[in-house]
Amino acid sequence: MTAVGAAPEAAARRPAMPPANRASLRALSGQAIANVLLAIFGALFLLPMLWLVLASVDANASWSVEVPHLTAANFADALSGSNLQSIINSIVMSGVSTVIATICGALAAYALSRRRIPWKGPLLLAVLFLSGVPLAILVIPVFQMYSAIGWLSLLPCSLFLAVTSLPFEIYLIKNFIDAVPRDVEEAARMERAGTFQILTRVVGPLALPGIGAAAIYGFVTAWGSFLVPLVLITDPSQQPGSIAIFGFIGNAYVRYGDIAAFSLIYAVPILLLYALSARLFRGGFVLSGAVKG
The whole-angstrom separation of Cα 30 and Cα 112 is 40
| β partners of residue 254 | 249
- In the complex, minimum distance from the CB of residue 72 to other proteins, in angstroms, rounded to a whole number: 17
- In the complex, minimum distance from the CB of residue 74 to other proteins, in angstroms, rounded to a whole number: 13
Name residues contacting other proteins, limited to 179-198 (CB under 8 A). 179-186, 189-190, 192, 194-198
Burial class (CB in 10 A: 0-12, 13-18, 19+), 126: exposed
Cβ(42)–Cβ(65) under 8 Å?
no
Name residues contacting other proteins, limited to 269-288 (CB under 8 A). 270-271, 274, 278, 281, 284-285, 288
Cβ(244)–Cβ(262) under 8 Å?
yes
1 contributes a contact to other proteins by CB under 8 A = yes
Structure letter (DSSP) for residue 60: T
- Binding residues for other proteins, rule CB under 8 A, total 163
15 contributes a contact to other proteins by CB under 8 A = no
- In the complex, minimum distance from the CB of residue 261 to other proteins, in angstroms, rounded to a whole number: 11
How many CB atoms are located within 10 Å of the residue 33 CB? 13
Burial class (CB in 10 A: 0-12, 13-18, 19+), 78: buried
56 contributes a contact to other proteins by CB under 8 A = no
Cβ(117)–Cβ(210) under 8 Å?
no
The residue (of 10 and 79) whose beta carbon lies closer to other proteins is 10
Among 164, 205, 228, 238, binds other proteins (CB under 8 A): 164
Among 21, 67, 141, 290, binds other proteins (CB under 8 A): 141
154 contributes a contact to other proteins by CB under 8 A = no
158 contributes a contact to other proteins by CB under 8 A = no
222 contributes a contact to other proteins by CB under 8 A = no
Name residues contacting other proteins, limited to 76-105 (CB under 8 A). 81, 100, 103-105
209 contributes a contact to other proteins by CB under 8 A = yes
Written as one string, the DSSP assignment of 209-247 is: HHHHHHHHHHHHHHHH--HHHHHH---GGG--HHHHGGG
- In the complex, minimum distance from the CB of residue 24 to other proteins, in angstroms, rounded to a whole number: 12
